[in-house]
Amino acid sequence: MNKVLKRLTSEQMAHFQIEGYVIVKGLFSEEDLRIIDDTFETISHQYIPRHFEPDMNAGAEDPLKRYPRVMHPHRFNETAKSYMLHRPVLDVLEDLYGEEALAAQSMFYYKPPGSRGQALHQDNFYLQVEPGNCIAAWTAIDPATLENGGLLVVPKTSDYEIVCPELADANESFTTHYVKPPKDEKAIPAIINRGDVLFFNGNLIHGSYRNKTKDQFRRAFICHYANASATHIGTHYRPLFRADGTAVDLEANPDGGPCGIEFDDAYPH
């Protein structure tokens, strides 16, 4: 007998299985989004070592110096942790995994006007979830459009093997790794509205363009998860958390991945 889905329709499940991603609406209320707005507006004026290290005096030549991404806010902010463990999101992940999901990482991107994008890449190159895979839940806090540097996905690459990346164009990407899409596949924009959540697995090739607007931020709250049956994960993503906030410490994955070595910058997420 097929497992009863908690949140997704059978059509949404099929889309994820075939295309490698699915957009789900209605998982965050406007009150949830307001709380997230307020939380990260407050954080944007702080300096939090190892998590958020802005240059408050940075000029317009590189907006990401003033507004870098916030790394692992769940480790210092209880509101961020609560939304990393947001029950509606976890219900979708349980549908996708067919089992409980464990929260491994949280991030917040401000992506101010004029800022560079992120070259195409694969998440499980970094998280190294084994056996199984990571899944991202990418929540749009602002509408993600072509103009403000919304997300790009390469459909049908969720079964594409994890590969050793090439060097990205530093003029357009703030990260250094680039994964070339397979022949006959190309990146398409995932246009999503405020509060929509884009789910995709760790092999799917994805990235983003530059924010070409003069006055629009493209904020996003992004979390990564592992299946409960996983035994290993990259060391930077430990501990993980169950829905009730209980910590789970999987084994650190010692595998250097398809490059055969540990990259010095193998923690760009």
- Residues 6 or more apart whose Cβ sits within 8 Å of residue 115: 62, 63, 64, 67, 149, 174, 210, 211
* Mean pLDDT of successive 10-residue stretches along the chain, which has 269 residues: 84 98 97 98 98 91 95 98 98 98 98 97 97 98 97 96 96 96 94 97 97 97 98 97 97 82 48
* pTM for the full predicted model: 0.95
- Token pair in block for residue 12: 């949404």
- Token pair in block for residue 243: 């829905």
Residue 142's pLDDT is 98
Calpha distance 83→106 (Å, rounded): 9
CATH of domain 10-48+62-250: 2.60.120.620
Residue 186's pLDDT is 94
Where exactly are the structural domains of the chain? 10-48+62-250
Residue 59's pLDDT is 76
Residue 264's pLDDT is 42
Integer CA distances (angstroms), 194 to 5, 24, 86, 269, in order: 25, 11, 16, 22
The strand pairing partners of 252, in sequence order, are 233
The strand pairing partners of 240, in sequence order, are 248
- Residues 6 or more apart whose Cβ sits within 8 Å of residue 267: 126, 234, 236
Residue 266's pLDDT is 45
